[in-house]
Structure 1
Amino acid sequence: MLTAGREGHRMRPHSRNHRRLASAAIFAAALMAPAFIAAPAQADDCKGGDPFNCKIFDRGSGSGGQGGSPGGGNSGPVEPPDPVGLTENEGVGFVPVEGENPPPATLSTLDWVAAAESSAELLTPIVHTAPDGKTYVRMRTSLWVDGFDVVETEPIGDDTQTIQATATPVSVTWNMGEAQKKCDDAGSKNGESCTYTYRRSSAGQPGGAYQITATITWNLTWTCEGSACAPQGGDLGPESETSQPTPLVVSEIQTNTGQ
């Protein structure tokens, strides 16, 4: 995020910290300068010996010593003060900029599977009966639905794995008002695979009709393609969708007997 300065100019965050860091560096250089000036006087200590014992920064080890005062006081290097108000990283020259997003975490195969499952759009069944809207007690009524279809999600993933979920319809459960009926397919108008026969009329029901519904059950599976797939597929279990209630009037068949 950028912030506005007093004069309307836009500047990067932590500009105040930059100024602090620069001031600390200048102050440190001023303190260190005498030590580097004294280095030539101590050059003999570094000739032919262990370079780790060079006393370039020993500025007050005795009276009349180079770079110190008679009777010496300090012994050893003088360290600059810690920068005030800066973090440890900022103090060594690194100033993070606000608003920079960290690199995204790598998603696992199962993370992608969960995303694929949530994107699956199952169809809401649409109910059909024959006869349509009205049937009779002890008459076989044909049942079928729209929406009994395989559903596949769009493939998702990254450069190393691609996941796709598939929903396969397995059954339709009909709530007929007085009982339930389960069919293994979508049914059809001719009633070859899914029918129901009422035993009682709907005269006593609210509005004089049964409110029937159909629930399709799908089985969800997924597959993964790519070098990072772990595992390469699996079963997500059943999912279902239920239709809107549909009124169906069920009447008694009237018979006339002659005298």
Structure 2
Amino acid sequence: MSPYSPGRRRTAIGALTGAALVTPFLTAIPAQAAPCHLSGNTGSCNGTVHQPGSPGGGGGSGGNSGGGDSGPVAPPDPVGLNPNQGEGFVQVPGNQAPPAPAKPATADLVAQAQAAAAFPVPIVHTSPKGKTFVRLRTSLWVDGFDVVKTEPITVGAQTVQLTGEPATVTWDLGEATHTCDNAGSQDGKACGYTYKRSSAGQPGGAYQITATIRWNVTWSCEGADCDLPGDDLGQQAMPSAVTPLVVGEIQTTTGQ
């Protein structure tokens, strides 16, 4: 039979037509990736799983071909995050010094100076000493009528100090009260008092007298951290111990 006979041409055309129909069908179906299973060297996460010895399995055994023998790749560490930090955590660079403590309020240092202030207890003196007489001027004076300064308190850039200026001495003389604006003197010219009644009717036959010094107290602050340069704290009073004073009457006689 001739190679170009009609029967042979029909057979060849049929074979080509069948092949043309089968090839597009095979290429139109995409390969579905098998799930990733890792077990020893038998699995891969590169999209397909190949069993050893199976067709197409050589792709996983190549040294530099990205084969399936490599393990899972861990995600990179988050950049700039501290694994120990929680909500509200503020990360301080390692070379940064901690913040300086807050400076104390000046008022707190003033209160500290007040608590440590020591004002002298006045010591009472009279002339005549211990016993005087009605209608006789009695001299009065005290020790301790002095300027008082506390020890300076320095914290940071501020120094606080209290100053007490003696202002008055108030005398409680039993019969009356009497105020002098000075310490008094032995001669009676600065401060004195004249009794009008004797002390005979008093407990123990004497007046119990005291002297109270009052200081005008101020504070000052020097330094860059001071809230204020200073202010007035009012008066500070310090009484003396009780001192008895007998007041008698001068007896006069007239000749016949």
* Class of the TM-score when normalised by the shorter of the 2 chains: 0.5 to 0.7
C-alpha displacement of 1:106: 2.7
Q: Displacement, 1:138? A: 0.6
More helix as a share of residues:
1
> Would you say how many aligned residue pairs link Structure 1 and Structure 2?
179
Report the equivalent of 2:157.
Answer: 160
Instruction: Please report the RMSD computed on the Cα atoms of aligned residues, expressed in angstroms.
Output: 3.2
1:63 aligns with 2:35: yes
User: What is the aligned partner in structure 2 of residue 80 from structure 1?
Assistant: none
TM-score scaled by structure 2? Answer: 0.63
For 2:134, the equivalent position in structure 1 comes to 137
Task: Kindly name which structure, 1 or 2, has the bigger radius of gyration based on alpha carbons.
Answer: 2
- DSSP 3-state at the match of 1:114: helix
TM-score normalized with structure 1 length: 0.62
| Corresponding residue of 2:239 | 242
What is the correspondence of 1:67-82 to structure 2 with a 5 Å cutoff? none
Task: Give CA deviations for 1:151-178 in whole Å, capped at 9, x if unaligned.
Answer: 0011112231111100110000000001
- Residues 1:165 and 1:256: Cα distance change in structure 2 (over 3 Å): same
Matching residue's letter, 2:246: V
Q: What CA distance in whole angstroms lies between the structure 2 residues aligned with 1:154 and 1:239?
A: 17
Is residue 2:202 matched to residue 1:223? Answer: no
Name the residue aligned to 1:212.
Answer: 209
* Partner residue, 1:190: 187
Cα shift readout 1:113-146 (whole Å, capped 9, x = no counterpart): 1111221100000000000000000100000000
Paired residue secondary structure (1:110): helix
What stretches of structure 1 of length at least 5 have no aligned partner? 1-60, 71-75, 78-86, 90-102
Confirm or deny: 8 A CA contact 2:160 2:220 kept in the other structure: yes
Distance 2:140 2:46 in 1: 106
Provide closer, same or farther for how the CA distance between residues 169 and 67 of structure 1 changes in structure 2, counting only shifts above 3 A.
Answer: farther
1:110 is displaced (CA, Å) by: 1.2
5+ unaligned residues in a row in structure 2: which ranges?
Answer: 1-32, 37-43, 50-73, 76-84, 88-99
Q: Determine if contact 2:122/2:145 at 8 Å carries over to the other structure.
A: yes
**How far has the Cα of 1:62 moved from its partner?**
6.8
Distance 2:101 2:226 in 1: 19
Report the alpha carbon displacement of residue 104 of structure 1 after superposing the two structures with TM: 6.0
